[in-house]
Amino acid sequence: MASGNTINPYPLSTNGHKEVPIQIPRTNNRENTQQASRNQHSHTSSVKKKGVKDFEFGKTLGEGSYSTVVAARDRSNNREYAAKILDKKHIIKEKKVKYVNIEKNTLNKMNHPGIVRLYYTFQDPDSLYFILDQAKNGELLTFIKKLGSFDINCTQFYAAQIISAIEYMHSQGVIHRDLKPENILLDDKMHIKVTDFGTAKILEQNADGEKDDRANSFVGTAEYVSPELLKEKAACKSSDFWALGCIIYQLIAGRPPFKGTNEYMTFQRIVHLDYSFPEGFPPVARDLVQKLLVLNPLERLGSGGQVGIDQLKAHPFFNGIDWDALWQHPAPRLLPYLPPNPQHNDPELRTTTNTYLRKLSGRSGETCSSPIATGLKQNDPFRLESWAGGDDASDKVDPEKFKKLEEQKRTSSQW
């Protein structure tokens, strides 16, 4: 099989080799092989090349509109990766060549703990391969669906990590344009990895030598699309902060703020800022979301370059966050948000012992080993799912505590 170019983006271009863009072959296999060979010889001898034969491919991790992501293992050192495999014929047929090159070029600029890394690209006659970080805990969306919502501590932590990733992307002149829980992965430490840069925009310099802060094409996902994209068909750096507001709302409420019966109705809700907060939404989080979900992108919290980002970080919602040590800090235990109820406001209802969780879920014989211990029924916002660490089998279940929880579930306002 013919191997293509190898990427070494950490650090960028320090060894002086010039990166070869991904080319989508449109010729026969013999010509493909010749082209791949020319690409290979264009690199300096100091860059180690990788190809299909260097990896062992495993189970499917996910599927996109024009790609499949599978587990991959480097045969030389047993290091694990995720391999994004793209079918050449489909890419050409669906006119996705542009997006493939956008993703490769964008990821080449990225070197941040909260953004998925691209290590190698290569090809065979049928497919293109991106070798990426493997985020073993999957999508953030999966955890939102399992818990129903995140408590304030969890929301604060993950929102801070998303902001850190956005800050870095913008410093590199990149707008993501499709931030959403599906495109935020969680690694083995339960830290985020932003992924899917196929619709990202690398900002170019204008005549004055400054980077133009606008991207004039319609991309994104309906529930997270910014109003300026709908009205002016142009996204900007501030558009990523609109998406952040939607994500923070969803982490606490369990659903996006703008959701219509179809895409058109969703868009109408967005341009008219037609959303509401469920009863019990924490005031400090409400204030943050309201300052992010602002129709004018210039007035949106976070806009205005580094000054705006510093103002966003200084919002009271992030009190207690050590921004300098954010990526060294362990992820909090995952707990759902329970709207306050004056009758039952007992912190003991937030137990994280395995025994109590097993009692609630009726699985007294099982041991919790996953990041989330399955609690009560699906879509119940008052389930006690948590990241239960260790075996607390010696703990005894308090019948009064269990009764108190059941009473809280009956009397609390449903979201």
Residues 6 or more apart whose Cβ sits within 8 Å of residue 355: 392, 393, 394, 395, 396, 397
The alpha carbon torsion through 369, 381, 181, 82 (nearest 10 deg) reads: 20
Q: Which amino acid is at 222?
A: A
**3-class DSSP state of 217:** coil
Q: Is the dihedral of CA 298, 304, 307, 312 positive or negative?
A: positive
What is the phi/psi pair of residue 272, to 5°?
-100, 10
Nearest Cα neighbor of 308 from 373, 244, 248 is 244
Q: Does the annotation flag 84 for ligand binding?
A: yes
Question: Which phi-psi region, left, alpha or beta, contains residue 390 (left: φ > 0; alpha: ψ -120 to 50)?
Answer: left
Catalytic residues: 178
DSSP annotation of 301 reads: T
Instruction: Report helix, strand or coil for 84.
Output: strand
Q: What 3-state DSSP class applies to 172? A: coil
Q: What is the CA radius of gyration of the chain?
A: 23
Structure token pair of residue 341: 């109820």
CA dihedral 310, 316, 317, 322 (to 10 degrees): 60
Binding residues: 84
Binding residues for ATP: 84
